[in-house]
Amino acid sequence: MSGHAPLDPEKPETTPGHRISYVAGPSTVYDPADPRYWDEGLLKDEVERAFEICNGCRLCFKYCDAFPGLFSLLDDARQGDVRALTKGERDGVMDDCFQCKLCEVQCPYTPREGHEFALDFPRLVHRYQAVRKRKEGFTLRDRVLGDPDLAASLARKSFGLANAMNRVSLHRWFMDKVLGVHPQAHLPEFASATFEAWAERSGKMASGPGAEVVLFQTCYIQNNDPQIGKDTLEVLEKNGCQARCVGGLVCCGMPAWEHGDLASLRSQARRNLDVLMPHVEAGSKVVVINPTCAMMLRREYPELLEGEDRERARKLAAAVRDTGEFLWSIRNEERARWEFLSSPGPISYHAPCHLRAQAVGFKGRDLLRKIPGVSIITVMECCGHDGTYAMKSETFEASRRLGAKAFDGMKAEPAAQVWATECPLAAIQFDQHAGRKALHPMTILARAYRKDGFPNPVETP
């Protein structure tokens, strides 16, 4: 059936034996505020329409397992008939999507392209999981992995015991059996004190609205690696930017939404809006360290929130900048300082999937080229970590397999002893499966400003 000419969207034909319209119709809904979003019959129609389009196109064969799995089912078991797929088979295809967004980036049929098919496969997966979880409920693992701030708060109260236990085989066996967290998966270490606590001690907190930039440090920097946040502030201040931190920010909501938990996402988003909007309304830019969080604030909040929160989210989205994106915008101003004292030499740079999804370029990478002695090899393959996908017992091996091209790409230049990526989870993935942890571009820039940051000194005029 694939490849048939599209039918009239006003007269969709869904009777078995008739062609499926490729053109967007009443079932094509990505807004959870629309009642059609939650209609199971319309959702099934939309899934079949999307599967029919993807089966006829097959451009996205190399990203996650969702598409190869779908194509295999249709070729080997269902004679190309998307309507013949069982619910379990549809569930399996959707579960294989880990929201890297690369299919949407490459797809020619998206709303972003203004195409009449209006296909956004990752958003359709979110819709599918939200409807499914509303009916089936959430697992304990969904709740634990969907709330990084709670997990980190409990870990800090253990005074380092949580980090130690995550390296104990018996404890990891228990996590595997009870939570479904793979015993070999490298888990992020928890910092003994939050980034926000450091910022308060260091006088980096905003006393009120009006700073040029406020930092959205993300839950990973807040709870796991505050040094990236410190390095980011150092680089911003070095370039004459008045940057401040704000208290009370929480997770962007992606881990919860990954499991279809719209209520938790909206609750977290509302808290972040309450904190950030006074600064946005005073003219501040919101610089976000993690590309996933920037994508959530910039692209997802305005689509997923409702009422007044949606209007506030649109204003916030206009103020959001990736760290490299913001610094690139001021690179030629008199205040910018690009005098470095040490150099990392050649660098292997990994382009994060969620940075690609924002279509703002790789400005962090481009800024690294300002360091003398730096040459860069760019790797565009997905690392396969993808939020919690690499942590789960049933997908750990798939994560390693799907990231293999990225691992090989990062190792392709032996002279590159320093690796870079804006994605902290990609850094963990590279550390585990490729033997080297990548640094955030802001960390590399911060170190290059220091004489002892890297072994290679830079001769100053």
Interval 165-223: pLDDT, tens: 999 999 999 999 999 999 999 999 999 999 999 999 999 999 999 999 999 999 999 99
**One domain for residues 77 and 170:** no
Domain limits at 97? 35-136
CATH of the domain at 260: 1.20.1050
Instruction: Identify whether 54 is part of a domain.
Output: yes
As for how many domains the chain has, the answer is: 4
The pLDDT of 275-300, averaged and rounded, is 97
Instruction: Identify whether 3 is part of a domain.
Output: no
**Does position 354 have pLDDT exceeding 90, yes or no?**
yes
Instruction: Identify whether 12 is part of a domain.
Output: no
Token couple for 85: 């797929």
Cβ contacts of 349 within 8 Å, gap of 6 or more: 362, 365, 368, 376, 377, 378, 379, 419, 420, 421, 441
**Does position 12 have pLDDT exceeding 80, yes or no?**
no
Instruction: Identify whether 9 is part of a domain.
Output: no
**One domain for residues 213 and 268:** yes
**One domain for residues 404 and 347:** yes
**One domain for residues 113 and 91:** yes
Four-residue CA torsion sign, 51, 52, 58, 60: negative
**One domain for residues 268 and 356:** no
**One domain for residues 250 and 307:** yes
Q: pLDDT band at residue 1, thresholds of 50, 70 and 90?
A: very low
